[in-house]
């Protein structure tokens, strides 16, 4: 695969004619950044459209972008694309450049099932030559057509007949500090697919959680950190799993149940809303660091409100200085511990935590 026109993102390119001419309503647009999706729809003149997103934060940004451009489209957020009814004549998938390979396979598999008979899936790939999608569509749709358009590729296939649904998922096992092992189900599109993240391990090996503690696993992914916290909080503790990615929330719920977490609840929210303020003893955070650290800053501000006055906050990062500065705007005390190549920032002079 090669990518040549780095300087011209899809959000500023003309929707290829081969797509424009063949699109038939109703249309589903799968993933894509808010700017890309809104830009695509500006070429499609009021065609009935449903936009699928897996993350509430992205979905809300897309809704705002569509409103700005006065484009009418329905935005749906769901754990699975095939949760949408099989009612689309056309599906347009906008895979991310350098995106997760397993997610691409998963989305193509699922796109098949939301198409009406003889409906068409288009993949608008940002790569100049893209044999990956051509091979994948051939496997799933039986035939694939490809148009190389100088700096990008469009691949399409038609749904004929039916095929069994195949879920892409990997189960991994992990344990901390000689405790009992836990098994976690993970799926593409949710951090971190198929493995226990090293930063997450550094975080949970550092945290102090007491029996009976109420813990928030903020940006929970598939729920590893909250589930390890539950081993210490015990049957009288409570865990709140929060994420903006609805597939992550569904996984955390399933993993918490399968690993015997006694008392927990899940919250799907992009603004960390719907939790009791001042009620929690511990917040655990392994935030993403995109968008100029906007999410990390949101995690800090909300954590402060969720914690009891003496509550403990733990955040794992590789950008210690920058995040510590932000943390000082919110918490009086900021302590740092280096562990496994990561920095764990905390508001508590906890066991082993020292000033940096
Ligand atoms: C680096 S991952 C950490 C996942 C897991 N806690 C771990 O340690 O492996 C960050 C998580 O934050 C979630 N996230 C991103 N933006 C969010 C927001 N605005 N509100 C809630 N969660 C968010 C992502 O979906 C992702 O699951």
Print the domain residue range for 289: 170-346
Q: How many structural domains is the chain composed of?
A: 2
Contact, 242 vs 216, CB < 8 A? yes
Do 151 and 192 lie in a common domain? no
- Ligand 1 near 58 CB (within 6 A): no
* Cα 158 from chain centroid (whole Å): 28
Q: What is the DSSP letter of 292?
A: G
Nearest to 121 by CA among 172, 76, 82, 83: 82
Residues 178 and 327 in one domain: yes
317 C-alpha vs ligand 1 centroid, how far in Å?
A: 13
Q: Based on the fold, state whether residues 132 and 200 are members of the same structural domain.
A: no
Domain annotation covers residue 296: yes
Q: What is the pLDDT of residue 11?
A: 77
In a domain, 269, yes or no: yes
Q: Is residue 324 part of a domain?
A: yes
Q: Can you tell me the distance from the alpha carbon of 219 to that of 174, in angstroms, rounded to the nearest whole number?
A: 19
Examine residue 95 and state whether it is found in any structural domain, yes or no. yes
Q: Which pLDDT does position 8 carry in this prediction?
A: 67
Domain-embedded: residue 353:
no
Q: 150 and 59, same structural domain?
A: yes
Look at residue 350 in the predicted model and tell me its pLDDT.
59
Using CA atoms, how far apart are residues 169 and 254, in angstroms rounded to an integer? 13
Indicate whether 249 and 107 sit together in one domain.
no
Domain contains 292 = yes
User: How many A from CA of 245 to the centre of ligand 1?
Assistant: 8
User: Which pLDDT belongs to residue 115?
Assistant: 98
Torsion on CA atoms 69, 72, 78, 84, rounded to nearest 10? -150
Residue nearest to atom 13 of ligand 1 (CA): 219
**Which domain CATH number covers 61?**
3.40.50.150
**Could you give the CA distance from residue 37 to residue 137 in angstroms, rounded to a whole number?**
22
Residue of 180, 176, 254, 256 whose CA lies nearest to 215: 256
75 falls within a domain: yes
The answer to whether 330 and 311 have CB atoms below 8 angstroms apart is no
Q: Which of 221, 293, 317 for a ligand 1 pocket mutation test, highest count of atoms within 8 Å of Cβ? A: 221
Does residue 225 line the site of ligand 1, with CB under 6 A?
A: yes
Residue 179 shares a structural domain with residue 154: no
Both tokens assigned to 199: 């930063």
pLDDT at 263: 98
Q: Is residue 305 part of a domain?
A: yes
State which of 158, 180, 201 marks the end of a domain: 158
- The reply to whether 186 and 304 lie within a common domain is yes
> Do 217 and 283 reside in the same domain of the chain?
yes
Cβ atoms of 204 and 232 within 8 Å: the answer is no
Q: How far is the CA of 66 from the centre of ligand 1 (A)?
A: 25
CB-based contacts of 70: which residues, under 8 Å, 6+ apart? Answer: none
CA distances from 40 to 37, 75, 243 (A): 5, 14, 28
Q: Are residues 126 and 187 in the same domain?
A: no
Question: In a 10 Å sphere around its CB, with 0-12 CB exposed, 13-18 middle and 19+ buried, how is residue 185 labelled?
Answer: middle
Could you say which of 95, 123, 158 is where a domain stops? 158
pLDDT tens over the chain, length 356 residues: 444 445 467 777 889 999 999 999 999 999 999 999 999 999 998 899 999 999 999 999 999 999 999 999 999 999 999 999 889 999 999 999 889 999 999 999 999 999 999 999 999 998 888 889 999 999 999 999 999 988 889 999 999 999 999 999 999 999 998 899 999 999 999 999 999 999 999 999 999 999 999 999 999 999 999 999 999 999 999 999 999 999 999 999 999 999 999 999 999 999 999 999 999 999 999 999 877 889 999 999 999 999 999 999 999 999 899 999 999 999 999 999 999 999 999 998 754 444 43
Residue 130 CA, ligand 1 centroid: distance in Å: 30
Segments in the chain forming alpha helices (H): 17-22, 34-41, 56-68, 101-114, 131-141, 198-206, 224-233, 246-258, 294-306, 320-328
Are 194 and 111 found together in one domain?
Answer: no
The residue contributing the CA closest to ligand 1 atom 20 is: 270
For 221, residues 6+ apart whose C-beta sits below 8 A from its C-beta are: 190, 191, 192, 197, 200, 243, 245, 248, 251, 252, 286
Claim to verify: residue 178 and residue 251 sit in the same structural domain:
yes
Residues 243 and 276 in one domain: yes
The last residue of a domain, from among 138, 158, 178: 158
Look at the alpha carbons of 123, 125, 129, 131 in this order and tell me if their dihedral is positive or negative: negative
């Amino acid at each position: 695969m090669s990518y040549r026109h780095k300087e011209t993102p899809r959000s500023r390119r003309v929707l290829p004619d081969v797509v424009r001419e063949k699109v038939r309503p109703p249309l589903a647009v799968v993933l894509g950044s808010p700017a890309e999706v809104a830009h695509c729809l500006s070429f499609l003149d009021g065609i009935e459209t449903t936009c699928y997103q897996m993350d509430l934060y992205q979905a809300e940004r897309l809704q705002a972008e569509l409103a700005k451009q006065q484009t009418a489209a329905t935005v749906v957020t769901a754990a699975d694309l095939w949760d949408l009814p099989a009612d689309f004549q056309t599906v347009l998938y906008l895979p991310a450049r350098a995106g997760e390979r397993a997610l691409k396979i998963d989305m193509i598999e699922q796109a098949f099932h939301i198409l009406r008979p003889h409906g068409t899936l288009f993949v608008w790939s940002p790569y100049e030559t893209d044999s990956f999608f051509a091979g994948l569509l051939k496997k799933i749709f039986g035939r694939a057509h490809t148009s190389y358009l100088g700096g990008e590729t469009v691949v399409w296939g038609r749904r004929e007949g039916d095929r069994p649904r195949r879920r892409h998922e990997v189960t991994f096992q992990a344990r901390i500090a000689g405790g009992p092992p836990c098994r976690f189900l993970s799926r593409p599109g949710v951090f971190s697919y198929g493995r226990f993240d090293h930063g997450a391990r550094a975080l949970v090996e550092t945290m102090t959680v007491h029996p009976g503690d109420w813990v928030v696993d903020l940006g929970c992914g598939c729920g590893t950190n909250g589930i390890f916290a539950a081993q210490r909080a015990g049957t009288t503790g409570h865990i709140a799993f929060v994420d903006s990615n609805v597939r992550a929330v569904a996984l955390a719920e399933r993993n918490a149940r399968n690993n015997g977490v006694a008392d927990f609840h899940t919250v799907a929210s992009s603004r960390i809303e719907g939790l009791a303020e001042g009620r929690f003893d511990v917040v655990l955070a392994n935030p993403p660091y995109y968008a100029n650290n906007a999410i990390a800053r949101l995690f800090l501000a909300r954590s402060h409100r969720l914690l009891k006055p003496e509550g403990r906050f733990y955040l794992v990062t590789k950008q210690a200085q920058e995040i510590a500065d932000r943390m000082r705007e919110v918490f009086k005390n900021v302590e740092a511990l280096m562990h496994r190549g990561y920095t764990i920032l905390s508001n508590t002079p906890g066991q082993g935590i020292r000033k940096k």
